[in-house]
Amino acid sequence: MKAVTVNTTKAKAAATAVVVGHSKQKLPTALTAIASKMAKDDLGSPQVVHTNNQVFILLKPKDKPELVGGEAWRVMGDELMKSLRSQLLASCSVVVGGKQCDVQSLVEGIVVGDYQFTACRSGKAAKRKKITVHIPGYAKEVKAGTQVGDCQNLAREVCDLPGNLMHPTAFVKRAKKEMQGLGITIKVIQGEAACRKANFPGLAQVGQAGAQPPALLEMHYKPRGKKSKNSYAMVGKGITFDSGGISLKPGAGMWKMKGDMGGAAAVLGAMKLIALQKPGVAVSGYCALAENMPDTKAQRPGDIYQARNGKYIHVDNTDAEGRLVLSDVLTYACEKKPTHLVDAATLTGACLVALGSSIAAVMGNNDKWVQQVRDAGQDVGEELWPLPLYSGYRKLLDHPHADINNIGGKYAGTITAGIFLSEFIGKNVKWAHCDIAGPAMMGGSWRYYDEGNTGFAVRTFAQLAQCLSK
Ligand code: BES
Ligand code: ZN
Ligand code: ZN
């Protein structure tokens, strides 16, 4: 349940938040000394001050080189919400202005920072105090920031929901509900047999042991009026629970694999955001949904099957399932001939080894497009870093009995996964693959996130639609 509302009304509030260095308003004398210390970084943000029977929260965007693309303002939004909640304040008006202020990012930080996964709480913990934040004079920014924050939180929630509640069938149902009235066309292929019949054998292979059947969810947005000659497709890995299958994962921490659907969640969140923002470019979103479970019906290590594009895949390890569900869906997305294609997947643990938990990897078949994805991420405060699809590593995926193996050995696991996917991309499509295994899941609190799933790539993917609509 969302517990914060941001509006632009000028109302008397329980507290006043002042962004130091970004407001001309004269402060009560009790505050000027504190504000000037903060301005010099002798005091940190936030500072809560009680004076004249009023509560003031002094905030300042942090000046750190890594806080790019509005991140300093999002962090500040989270600080504001944490202060309001700890002081039990139900409302607040924000004093902010000037050329350098980034109110949209502030609002995003308020909405995303205040997210809590409460769907599985009862009693008191299920009810959160409602807070209203007033930011007069910034109607456009408040609306835009709220849309971004809500859509990112949607992506987080579907990942935080456990595998028994958020399985492929539930995901499809939720997506339909979220897209209602937004003019998005939806198509669903549901069930193992239907996936095989429609020639998505990878989805069938991985999902055949699931208690809930696998599914392919397609969502299409068509712009009205002026339309770019570009067309844009997004594909997401949606393993609603990854046990590893017969190549079972170790038990400790396995529960976190309820979030192995961060890619599909990002596609869902971005698609909703795009439907609200209405860029001038056609956009298609594809979610490859399956449960990866061990069972008598499960695929075995050693199984070989023919992918949609004709290549024979050897399943060496059933835990490398993401690339299996993605490959046919990528081929399918390319059949529709988009000019630009992007995918997101919590694909490899190796990506965490390479880049850590704050940075996603990006790789692809077109350097300019890869750079554009990276730049879009930088613009919205999501960090992506390029890795090479070094052709010399293709031989790591060789197998004596099939065209390609689904694992590539001990080293460069993120790259070999990317090379695997590259074999399923159609001609003339600019493609970029984002391995979001790190930033999609947080092991503890970071910036404005608490432990849990982050909705990483919602902002980048929607930003790319804006870029391509020009
Ligand atoms: N979903 C995992 C990758 C993952 C690991 C995401 C940790 C987030 C955090 C993926 O399906 C997987 O299990 N990959 C294997 C690949 C290996 C078998 C080649 C891995 O990374 O160990
Ligand atoms: Zn796996
Ligand atoms: Zn996985």
Q: Residue 158 CA to chain centroid, in angstroms?
A: 11
Residue 348 has pLDDT above 80, yes or no: yes
The pLDDT, as a whole number, for residue 52 is 83
- Please, which residues bridge with residue 54 across strands? 51
- At residue 25 the predicted structure's pLDDT band, cuts being 50, 70 and 90, is confident
Q: Is the CB of 242 under 6 A from ligand 1?
A: yes
Judge whether 336 and 233 are in contact, CB under 8 Å.
yes
The pLDDT, as a whole number, for residue 384 is 98
Q: What are phi and psi of 358, to 5 degrees?
A: -100, -10
Judge whether 411 and 101 are in contact, CB under 8 Å.
no
Atom of ligand 1 nearest to the CA of 350: 21
Q: What is the pLDDT of residues 237-294, one digit of tens each?
A: 999 999 999 999 999 999 999 999 999 999 999 999 999 999 999 999 999 999 999 9
Specify whether 470 is catalytic: no
Instruction: Report which protein residue has its CA nearest ligand 1's atom 7.
Output: 349
- At residue 11 the predicted structure's pLDDT band, cuts being 50, 70 and 90, is very high
- Cα 326 to middle of ligand 2, angstroms: 13
* Options 74, 323, 430, 459, the catalytic residue: 323
Mean pLDDT across the chain? 97
* Options 143, 249, 256, 311, the catalytic residue: 249
Report the alpha-carbon distance of residue 252 to residue 350 in Å, rounded. Answer: 18
Q: What is the pLDDT of residues 378-417, one digit of tens each?
A: 999 999 999 999 999 999 999 999 999 999 999 999 999 9
Ligand nearest to the CA of 319: 2
Q: Is the CB of 334 under 6 A from ligand 1?
A: no
Q: Is the CB of 407 under 6 A from ligand 1?
A: yes
Residue pointed to by tokens 């979103």? 285
For residue 258, give both structure tokens.
């309820």
Report the alpha-carbon distance of residue 394 to residue 186 in Å, rounded. Answer: 36
Residue 22 has pLDDT above 90, yes or no: yes
Q: Which residues contact 395 (CB under 8 A, 6 or more apart)?
A: none
- Cα 174 to middle of ligand 2, angstroms: 24
Q: Is the CB of 240 under 6 A from ligand 1?
A: no
Atom of ligand 1 nearest to the CA of 292: 11
Q: Is the CB of 319 under 6 A from ligand 1?
A: yes
Radius of gyration of the chain (CA): 23
| Percent of the chain whose pLDDT exceeds 90 | 96
Report the alpha-carbon distance of residue 245 to residue 258 in Å, rounded. Answer: 14
- At residue 225 the predicted structure's pLDDT band, cuts being 50, 70 and 90, is confident
- Cα 280 to middle of ligand 1, angstroms: 36
Q: Is the CB of 316 under 6 A from ligand 1?
A: no
Residue 1 has pLDDT above 80, yes or no: no
Q: Is the CB of 190 under 6 A from ligand 1?
A: no
Q: What is the pLDDT of residues 414-470, one digit of tens each?
A: 999 999 999 999 999 999 999 999 999 999 999 999 999 999 999 999 999 999 998
Specify whether 24 is catalytic: no
The pLDDT, as a whole number, for residue 26 is 86
Q: Is the CB of 357 under 6 A from ligand 1?
A: no
Top mutation candidate among 246, 261, 347 for ligand 1, by most atoms within 8 Å of CB = 347
Domain annotation for the chain: domains and CATH numbers:
4-137 (3.40.220.10), 148-469 (3.40.630.10)
Instruction: Name the residues around ion ligand 3, CB cutoff 5 A.
Output: 239, 242, 260, 322
